[in-house]
């Protein structure tokens, strides 16, 4: 499936630049470009230099919630309450929060799914990976007919079994230590539920469990911060490991300098899984916003993403990392400010 054991994970929101993708590919890793949040036109422009390079590369897309799953009235009330809770913080930055959130059918809420699938079918890329849900088997089939290998992201054995049913070629198995959004799409047992056998499972244990359940090649992701944990995931049955956080501070990464600097700032002492920024659980450095709003944030993605966007933009403009989504996996302290090729080669030397 891959000719290298190391994969640069897709990081949407500006972190994965074409320069980062080309640098890691040049150093011997496989890279997945981040198609999330982009329109088809933006994606086309983003991957043009990757196509021109002739290299094997991937494109990651967010699978949207079905438009038919309209927002429940109850959820609207929770969103209203969350908007009210955010008002004072927004005012501090001079940010105005949207009164109306886009409807479920709006192209940005659907993450421009239809137009991006059309683009990738008309002008295929070597690999497409999906997260936040499963692409329908019919889409997987169409991509295969276009000559594309297809990956699904999963976080558990039940998700792996469901993904295998759609006909994908390999799975990205993401552990909860991962930075950024969880790929989970099936309900997880409530925190603290001691009957949950998956609780406290390490990445190698998760890989072993998934590998016993499905026949597909696996890519291990989540908290891989050095060659030792990469090797442990490979030994447990993964064909490759994916790194995200380890690349955020690299020279070619497009992450904001506020984000890059926070990852090296000893004032941040832990990461937290929070819905506060987008309504979907994501792992971030624990800052004031996370501490203040994690409890109040409703489970409503992408509505909360659109609700907090002006506040986050204003915080960035004010150079204040305390209200920014500082996505980070549990291995964040190892992230190096260096050329991406150096980070990749340091892993590959030992793998
Ligand atoms: C800043 C950031 C953005 C991310 N964006 C995406 C994305 O667009 N699509 C996706 O499938 N995963 C995304 N992820 C998750 C990564 O693909 C990967 O699973 C994760 O980074 C691996 O864990 P690590 O950060 O501990 O290395 C993102 C992670 C980070 C840190």
pLDDT for the residue 1? 86
Asked whether residue 115 is domain-assigned, the answer is: yes
Asked whether residue 90 is domain-assigned, the answer is: yes
Best mutation site among 11, 42, 245 for ligand 1 pocket (most ligand atoms within 8 Å of CB): 11
Report how far ligand 1's centroid is from the alpha carbon of 327 (Å).
Answer: 8
| Residues 243 and 292 reside in one and the same domain | no
Report how far ligand 1's centroid is from the alpha carbon of 14 (Å).
Answer: 12
Secondary structure of 37-64 in HEC code, one letter for each residue: CCCHHHHHHHHHHHHHHCCCCEEEEECC
| Residues 208 and 345 reside in one and the same domain | yes
pLDDT level of residue 56 (50, 70, 90 thresholds) = very high
Report the nearest-CA residue for atom 8 of ligand 1: 12
Asked whether residue 215 is domain-assigned, the answer is: yes
| Residues 191 and 63 reside in one and the same domain | yes
Best mutation site among 6, 7, 8, 9 for ligand 1 pocket (most ligand atoms within 8 Å of CB): 9
pLDDT exceeds 70 at position 185: yes
Report how far ligand 1's centroid is from the alpha carbon of 91 (Å).
Answer: 30
pLDDT exceeds 80 at position 69: no
Report how far ligand 1's centroid is from the alpha carbon of 55 (Å).
Answer: 22
The residues pairing with 131 across neighbouring beta strands, listed in sequence order, are 62
Asked whether residue 263 is domain-assigned, the answer is: no
Asked whether residue 20 is domain-assigned, the answer is: yes
> What's the CA gap between 303 and 317, in Å, rounded?
22
pLDDT for the residue 334? 97
| Residues 216 and 317 reside in one and the same domain | no
| Residues 77 and 221 reside in one and the same domain | no
> What's the CA gap between 67 and 111, in Å, rounded?
11
pLDDT exceeds 70 at position 286: yes
| Residues 160 and 34 reside in one and the same domain | yes
pLDDT level of residue 18 (50, 70, 90 thresholds) = very high
Report how far ligand 1's centroid is from the alpha carbon of 68 (Å).
Answer: 27
Report the nearest-CA residue for atom 5 of ligand 1: 11
pLDDT exceeds 80 at position 196: no
Least confident of 134-148, 176-190, 220-234, 253-267: 176-190
Report how far ligand 1's centroid is from the alpha carbon of 74 (Å).
Answer: 30
pLDDT exceeds 60 at position 206: yes
Report how far ligand 1's centroid is from the alpha carbon of 331 (Å).
Answer: 13
| Residues 180 and 280 reside in one and the same domain | no
- What is the number of the ligand 1 atom nearest to the C-alpha of 36? 8
Least confident of 49-58, 67-76, 284-293: 67-76
pLDDT exceeds 60 at position 193: no
Q: Mapping DSSP to helix (H, G, I), strand (E, B) and coil, where does residue 259 land?
A: helix
- What is the number of the ligand 1 atom nearest to the C-alpha of 130? 11
Beta-strand pair 6-8/271-274 = unpaired
| Residues 115 and 45 reside in one and the same domain | yes
| Residues 47 and 190 reside in one and the same domain | yes
Asked whether residue 331 is domain-assigned, the answer is: no
- CA atoms within 13 A of residue 279's CA, in its CB half-sphere: 21
Report the nearest-CA residue for atom 15 of ligand 1: 180
By residue count, the chain amounts to: 351
Provide mean pLDDT across the span 23-32: 97
| Residues 98 and 180 reside in one and the same domain | no
Q: CATH number of the domain that 20 lies in?
A: 3.20.20.70
pLDDT exceeds 90 at position 105: no
Whether the bond between 302 and the residue before it is cis, its omega within 30 degrees of 0, is yes
pLDDT exceeds 70 at position 70: no
Rg of the chain over all Cα atoms, to the nearest angstrom? 19
Helix axes 40-53, 113-122, angle to 10 degrees: 30
- Which protein residues are within 6 Å of ligand 1, measured from CB? 9-13, 15, 34, 36, 60, 131, 153, 174, 177-180, 183, 221-224, 242-246, 327, 329, 331
Report how far ligand 1's centroid is from the alpha carbon of 181 (Å).
Answer: 7
Looking at every residue in the chain, the average pLDDT score rounds to 95
Q: Distance of alpha carbon 146 from its chain centroid, rounded?
A: 25
Question: Mind listing the pLDDT tens digit for each residue in 151-171?
Answer: 999 999 999 999 999 999 999
pLDDT exceeds 70 at position 191: no
- What is the number of the ligand 1 atom nearest to the C-alpha of 183? 11
> What's the CA gap between 216 and 9, in Å, rounded?
19
Provide mean pLDDT across the span 31-52: 98
| Residues 144 and 29 reside in one and the same domain | yes
pLDDT exceeds 90 at position 103: no
- Count the domains in the chain: 2
Asked whether residue 330 is domain-assigned, the answer is: no
> What does residue 220 show for φ and ψ, rounded to 5 degrees?
-90, 135
Asked whether residue 116 is domain-assigned, the answer is: yes
| Residues 84 and 116 reside in one and the same domain | no
pLDDT level of residue 253 (50, 70, 90 thresholds) = very high
**Domain of 289, in residue numbers:** 71-103+269-325
Q: Work out the percent of the chain whose per-residue pLDDT is above 70.
A: 95
pLDDT exceeds 80 at position 197: no
Cβ-Cβ contacts under 8 Å for 294 (sequence gap 6 or more): 272, 274, 275, 276
pLDDT exceeds 60 at position 183: yes
């Amino acid at each position: 499936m891959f000719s290298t054991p190391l994969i640069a994970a897709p990081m949407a929101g500006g972190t994965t630049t074409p320069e980062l993708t080309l640098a890691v590919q040049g150093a011997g890793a496989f890279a997945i470009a981040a198609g999330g949040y982009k329109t088809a036109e933006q994606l086309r422009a983003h991957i043009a230099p990757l196509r021109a390079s002739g290299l094997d590369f991937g494109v990651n897309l967010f699978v949207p919630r079905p438009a038919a799953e309209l927002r429940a009235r109850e959820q609207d009330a929770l969103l209203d309450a969350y908007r009210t809770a955010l008002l004072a913080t927004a005012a501090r930055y001079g940010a105005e929060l949207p009164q109306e959130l886009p409807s479920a059918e709006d192209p940005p809420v659907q993450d421009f799914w239809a137009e991006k699938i059309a683009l990738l079918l008309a002008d295929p890329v070597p690999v497409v990976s999906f997260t936040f849900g499963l692409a329908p088997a019919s889409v997987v089939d169409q991509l295969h007919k276009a000559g594309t290998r297809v990956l699904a992201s999963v976080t558990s054995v039940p998700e792996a079994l469901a993904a295998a049913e759609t006909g994908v070629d390999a799975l990205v198995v993401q552990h909860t230590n991962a930075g950024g959004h969880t790929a989970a799409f099936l309900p997880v047992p409530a925190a603290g539920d001691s009957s949950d056998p998956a609780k406290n499972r390490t990445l190698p244990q998760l890989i072993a469990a998934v590998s016993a359940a499905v026949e597909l090649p696996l890519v291990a992701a989540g908290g891989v911060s050095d060659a030792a944990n990469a090797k442990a995931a490979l030994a447990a049955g993964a064909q490759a490991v994916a790194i995200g956080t380890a690349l955020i501070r690299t020279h070619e990464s497009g992450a904001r300098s506020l984000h890059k600097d926070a990852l090296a700032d000893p004032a941040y002492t832990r990461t937290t899984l929070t819905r506060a920024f987008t309504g979907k659980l994501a792992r971030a450095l624990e800052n004031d916003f996370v501490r203040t709003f994690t409890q109040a944030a409703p489970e409503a993605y992408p509505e909360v993403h659109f609700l907090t966007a002006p506040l986050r933009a204003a915080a960035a403009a004010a150079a204040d990392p305390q209200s920014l989504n500082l996505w980070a996996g549990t291995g964040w302290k190892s992230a190096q400010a260096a050329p991406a090729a150096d980070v990749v080669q340091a892993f590959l030397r030992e793998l």
